[in-house]
Amino acid sequence: MQQAPEIESDADPTAQYAVEIAGAILGEAPKRATRFQTGTSHFVFEIETAGGGRPVLRLSRRRDIETARSAVYWSHLLRPMGVPLPALLHADLSMARHPFPVLLLQRLPDDDLGTIFGRLSRSELRALAERLAVIQNIVAGLPRGRGFGYAATCDGPFAHDSWRGVVVAHLARSRARIRIAAVVEEGVVDPVEAAAERLGYLDRVTAVPSLHDITTKNVIIHEGRLSGIVDVDDLCFGDPLLLVALIRMALLAHGRDQAYVEDWIDIVRPDAEQSAALDLYTLQFCVDFMAELGQRFNRNEAAIDPAYLARLRALYAGLLDSGSRRHVTGSGSTISRSA
């Protein structure tokens, strides 16, 4: 067997490696490998073959091999249930032949929701929300978790014994990232932590499995309809409303029409207590977005867009003020579109 070339354990996959690895898998040298610029963890390339095929090659850092294994696990479990993940064409996680964990996937037609969001009609967005909500219900039919948080399999491991623990850990991660990057002040976390501490709802959430990152990314659209979902490496066991809050924050952060998240809210119909939790989660993600600034993740360097930072600061102030006026930790309503 051909041995993997020597490479440092923390080295990043490159387009050159993508071409070589794709050629070895396909039996022919591809014309080119073009990296997708979305995502923060993996290195994903569109491979253009001589015959016109365009599979997707996903390479991970070697230290992320467990994440690659979990992606294979969820593909095998969720696709037969009707969750539209791309077909897994080839997987090699041995790192004996190739220097990185390798997944070769079907290329779903068209592009991320975030890229074409402005071109979708109001009715198309509503239909998309309804379709994704059905998919969430399919996933929710899996067994409840024996713990809470993000898990690589239905059996865990689970990092937390309560949903409150997940929220607290999420905010602690944001605080740690903010402290390291020093782009925003650490104090932005304080009022959100205080609101979470007072919200008793967090103690009553059960460990419902859900897709947690199908926002304006990882959702592929073709001709106005859902083509499929990508990058499912784990499920979140806890409150499915966390996704709705992430969709809301993603739309706010990028100045998108809030009508799409209003469709989600209309579909899931949260009660007053759940609406208060939704407001809290939105603030939680606003802090998380600020904490990502100054982090390199899977990019060559950490980029900070001053205009984007200013927008997040303004959103944070508006969300915090709206939450205070409507009692985020009580039976308040949802955050207004003007926030």
Q: What percent of the chain is predicted at pLDDT more than 70? A: 89
Residues 159, 336: Cα–Cα separation, whole Å: 34
Model confidence band, residue 1 (pLDDT cutoffs 50, 70, 90): very low
Q: Is the pLDDT of residue 5 over 50?
A: no
What is the average per-residue pLDDT within 252-256? Answer: 94
Per-residue pLDDT at 140: 98
Per-residue pLDDT at 324: 59
Per-residue pLDDT at 325: 56
Residues 268, 104: Cα–Cα separation, whole Å: 35
Counting other chains too, the contacts that 311-314 makes at CB distance below 8 Å and 24 or more residues apart are 311/253, 311/255, 312/253, 312/286, 313/184
Determine the 3-state secondary structure of 91 from DSSP.
Answer: strand
Dump pLDDT digits (tens) for 83-97: 999 999 999 999 889
Range in 25-39, 164-178, 313-327 with the lowest mean pLDDT: 313-327
Residues 290, 169: Cα–Cα separation, whole Å: 16
CATH class of 15-105: alpha beta
Per-residue pLDDT at 37: 74
Q: Is the pLDDT of residue 323 over 70?
A: no
What is the average per-residue pLDDT within 110-130? Answer: 95
One of 3.40.50.800, 3.90.1200.10, 3.10.20.30, 3.30.230.10 is the CATH number of 111-325, namely: 3.90.1200.10
What is the average per-residue pLDDT within 279-295? Answer: 95
Q: For the whole model, what pTM was predicted?
A: 0.88
Domains 15-105 and 111-325 share a fold: no
Residues in contact with 137: Cβ distance below 8 Å, sequence separation at least 6, in sequence order: none
Question: Among 47, 43, 38, which Cα is nearest to 115's?
Answer: 38
Which sequence spans correspond to the domains of the chain? 15-105, 111-325
Residues in contact with 52: Cβ distance below 8 Å, sequence separation at least 6, in sequence order: none
Q: Is the pLDDT of residue 337 over 60?
A: no
Structure tokens that stand for 293 in this block: 């600034």
Q: What percent of the chain is predicted at pLDDT more than 90? A: 80
Residues 106, 284: Cα–Cα separation, whole Å: 34
Counting other chains too, the contacts that 90-94 makes at CB distance below 8 Å and 24 or more residues apart are 90/25, 92/25, 93/65, 93/68, 93/69
